Chain A
Amino acid sequence: MALIEARGLTRIHHLDSGRVVALDHVDLDIEAGDMVAVMGPSGSGKSTLMNLIGCLDRPSGGSLSLDGMATADLDANALAALRNRKIGFVFQQFNLLPRADAATNAELPMLYAGVDARTRRRRALDALARVGLADRSHHRPMQLSGGQQQRVAIARALVNDPRLLLADEPTGALDSRTALDILALFQQLNRDGMTVVLVTHDPEVARHAARVVRFRDGRIVGDTRQVPAAADGSDPGGGLPPMARPETAVLP
Chain B
Amino acid sequence: MSFAEALRSALQAIAANAMRSMLTMLGIIIGVAAVIAMVAIGSGARARVTDQIRSLGANLVVITAGNVQVGGVRLGAGASSSLTDEDARAIIREVDGVVASAPFIRSQAQVIFEGTNWSTGIQAIDNDFFAAREWDVALGRMFDPDELRRGEIVAILGQTVAATLFGSESPLDRIVRVRNTPFRVIGVAAPKGQSAFGQDQDDVIFVPLETGRRRIMGRNYARDRSVASIFVKFEREDAMANGIEETRALLRQRHRLGEDAEDDFAIRNLTDVANTATASARTLSFLLAAVAAVSLLVGGIGIMNIMLVSVTERTREIGLRLAVGARPRDILTQFLIEATTLASLGGALGVALGLGIALTIARTAGWPMLVSPDSILIAVGVSGLVGVFFGFYPASRAASLDPIEALRRE
Residues of A within 8 A of B (CB): 51, 54, 56-57, 76-77, 80-81, 83-85, 89, 91, 93, 95, 97, 99-100, 108-109, 111-113, 156, 160
- Which DSSP category, helix, strand, loop or mixed, fits chain B's interface? helix
When distances are taken between beta carbons in the complex, the residues of chain B under 8 Å from A93 are 316
When distances are taken between beta carbons in the complex, the residues of chain A under 8 Å from B404 are 51, 56-57
Q: How far is the CA of A81 from the CA of B326 in the complex (A)?
A: 8
Q: Mark B301-324, 1 if CB is under 8 A from A, else 0.
A: 000000000000000110111111
User: Is B12 part of the contact surface with A, judged by Cβ < 8 Å?
Assistant: yes
When distances are taken between beta carbons in the complex, the residues of chain B under 8 Å from A76 are 327-328
Q: How far is the CA of A28 from the CA of B322 in the complex (A)?
A: 26
Q: List 19 A-B contacts (CB under 8 A).
A: A56-B323, A56-B404, A57-B404, A80-B328, A81-B327, A83-B323, A84-B325, A89-B323, A91-B407, A93-B316, A95-B316, A95-B320, A99-B16, A108-B320, A109-B324, A109-B325, A111-B1, A112-B1, A112-B325
Q: A80-B326, A100-B12 are in contact. List 5 more A-B contacts (CB 8 A).
A: A56-B323, A77-B328, A84-B325, A112-B1, A112-B326
Decide yes or no: A77 and B1 within 8 Å by CB, A83-B324, A99-B12 being known contacts.
no
Question: What are the 8 closest A-B residue pairs judged by CB atoms, nearest first?
Answer: A84-B325, A109-B324, A112-B325, A80-B327, A95-B320, A111-B1, A77-B327, A56-B403
Q: How far is the CA of A76 from the CA of B321 in the complex (A)?
A: 14
Q: Of A51, A57, A112, which is within 8 A of B324 by CB?
A: A112
User: Is B152 part of the contact surface with A, judged by Cβ < 8 Å?
Assistant: no
Q: How far is the CA of A109 from the CA of B1 in the complex (A)?
A: 10
When distances are taken between beta carbons in the complex, the residues of chain A under 8 Å from B325 are 80-81, 83-85, 109, 112-113, 160
Count of chain A to chain B residue pairs whose CB atoms are closer than 8 Å in the complex: 59
Find out whether the CB atom of B323 lies under 8 angstroms from the CB atom of A112. no
Residues of B within 8 A of A (CB): 1, 5, 12, 16, 316-317, 319-330, 403-404, 407
Q: Give the distance to chain A from B306, nearest Cβ to Cβ, in Å.
A: 17
Q: How far is the CA of A84 from the CA of B407 in the complex (A)?
A: 16
Q: How far is the CA of A100 from the CA of B328 in the complex (A)?
A: 22
Residue of A77, A84, A95 with most partner-chain B CB within 10 A:
A95
When distances are taken between beta carbons in the complex, the residues of chain B under 8 Å from A109 are 324-325
Closest A residue to B400 using CB positions: A76
Q: How far is the CA of A179 from the CA of B329 in the complex (A)?
A: 36
Q: How far is the CA of A196 from the CA of B180 in the complex (A)?
A: 116
When distances are taken between beta carbons in the complex, the residues of chain B under 8 Å from A83 are 322-325
Closest A residue to B408 using CB positions: A47
Find out whether the CB atom of B321 lies under 8 angstroms from the CB atom of A54. no
Closest B residue to A93 using CB positions: B316
Closest B residue to A168 using CB positions: B407
When distances are taken between beta carbons in the complex, the residues of chain A under 8 Å from B320 are 91, 95, 97, 108
Q: How far is the CA of A85 from the CA of B316 in the complex (A)?
A: 21
Q: Give the distance to chain B from A60, nearest Cβ to Cβ, in Å.
A: 14
Q: Give the distance to chain A from B388, nearest Cβ to Cβ, in Å.
A: 22
When distances are taken between beta carbons in the complex, the residues of chain B under 8 Å from A91 are 320, 407
Q: Give the distance to chain A from B123, nearest Cβ to Cβ, in Å.
A: 76
